[in-house]
Structure 1
Amino acid sequence: MGQVQQARNVAIFVFDGVEILDFTGPFEVFITGSNRGQDFNVYTVAELENPVNALGNLSINASYTINNCPRTDILIVPGGRGARHEMHNETITNWIKEVSNEAELVFSVCTGALILAKANLLDGLKITTNRLAMNELREVAPQSAEIIENVRYVDNGKIILSAGISAGIDASLYVIEKLLGKDRALEAARIMEYDWYE
């Protein structure tokens, strides 16, 4: 008798000033593509227990803090104005680096790439971000990284980076395709009534 595959834990990091669709887009994709929770267990994680204020003062109560977050299989680091602050928060960049050692996949949305750069995860990789933040990424990216413009996402194997906002939805669907097959990704996009830019 075959062993039942345990659901992968998908942790989405949230912080003050996070772009709303950067984290809610991937959240929606992974719950929609989870086969009713059998394949993905999706949750938010923040540095502290306090509510997080996303752009537009949307208040979020994260499910976990970085101190009690379950083992993470997929870590998603969104962007937004607050990413410019979090990229200098060593508590966060150290946590992301530590989690990335055990995670199967790490991916950023938009200016989440700045945080990954400061966590020293981008050496020798192809990287991207929101088209309006390319110069900021150039300033913090290692010289060994290659910045790719005009793409929705880039896959380096373990590290995936996506462009701005809605590109995080495309990258999330791509991750589902990578892990569970194209049919599952297409079904998730169909349920969401989303035109997927593959």
Structure 2
Amino acid sequence: MTTNRKLVVGILVFPGFATLDIAGPLQFFEQLEDGIETVLIAREAGTLYSRPPAGGCPIVASYAFASAPALDVLLVPGGKGCRSLFHDAAYQDFIKYHSSRVQYVLSVCTGSGFLAACGLLDGKRATTNKVAFREIQMLGDGRVQWIKHARWVVDGNIWTSSGVTAGMDMVCAFLTSLFGPDRLQQILNVIEYTPAIDAGNDPFAFLAES
């Protein structure tokens, strides 16, 4: 991929986020600082915690929904805190607005629940955390083709991953599609990570049946 400017990746942050859902992809994006600018966005700018009100990992969102810049990519993580926000009007408005304008929408883990609740997955293939599979599946009201045997799923410009660590594998595939395998391998060598390369090989798929 060639571009004259950096891609702006916006990562949604909310109270009770899953730390690795954000930190995993963010590590890869930061290795591409010459090609990607990452911004963290929350309902209100400031510090949010993975175990609210003030426990766990703190993350600082530099932008509020109302002040978020134009994005090229929107990444929506999951976490325990997202369940109460799937149908929150402010979150839905933010996701719908930016998803209609970005080049790509990515979700990690139960973050796909946000996309399903917004109707963005209607008629599409998608996946999610396998332990929470049945719960998230209900958000699609039968309009989403949820894939159990998938580490990640790509349908058009929407990428969805299975649980937590699968987000890193999805981002590896995503970055390969944008910047090529050689550039990705440079990143993998630096951070010493071996990603899953078969999107359909999910060793945790059996959990969706339980």
**Matches of 2:151 and 2:180, distance apart in 1:** 19
**Residue matched to 1:39:** 35
* Pairwise CA distance, 1:141: 1.1
Superposed CA RMSD in Å reads 1.4
Identity of matched residues, %:
32
TM-score by length of 1: 0.93
**Matches of 1:169 and 1:115, distance apart in 2:** 19
Q: Indicate conservation of the 8 Å contact 2:8/2:38, yes or no.
A: yes
Matches within 5 A, 1:1-198: 5-32=4-31, 34=32, 37-55=33-51, 57-198=56-197
Gaps in structure 2 of 5+ consecutive residues? 198-210
In the alignment of these two chains, the number of paired residues is 193
Gaps in structure 1 of 5+ consecutive residues? none
Which string of whole-angstrom CA distances, capped at 9 and with x for unpartnered residues, describes residues 141-180 of structure 1? 1423211113210001211100111111111111111111
**Matches of 2:11 and 2:46, distance apart in 1:** 16
Q: Indicate conservation of the 8 Å contact 2:46/2:62, yes or no.
A: no
Q: Indicate conservation of the 8 Å contact 2:116/2:144, yes or no.
A: no
TM-score by length of 2: 0.88
**Matches of 1:146 and 1:119, distance apart in 2:** 15
1:181–1:88 distance in 2 versus 1, CA, 3 Å: same
Paired residue secondary structure (2:39): strand
Q: Indicate conservation of the 8 Å contact 1:123/1:142, yes or no.
A: no
Which string of whole-angstrom CA distances, capped at 9 and with x for unpartnered residues, describes residues 64-118 of structure 1? 1111111110100000001101212111111101100110000100000111111
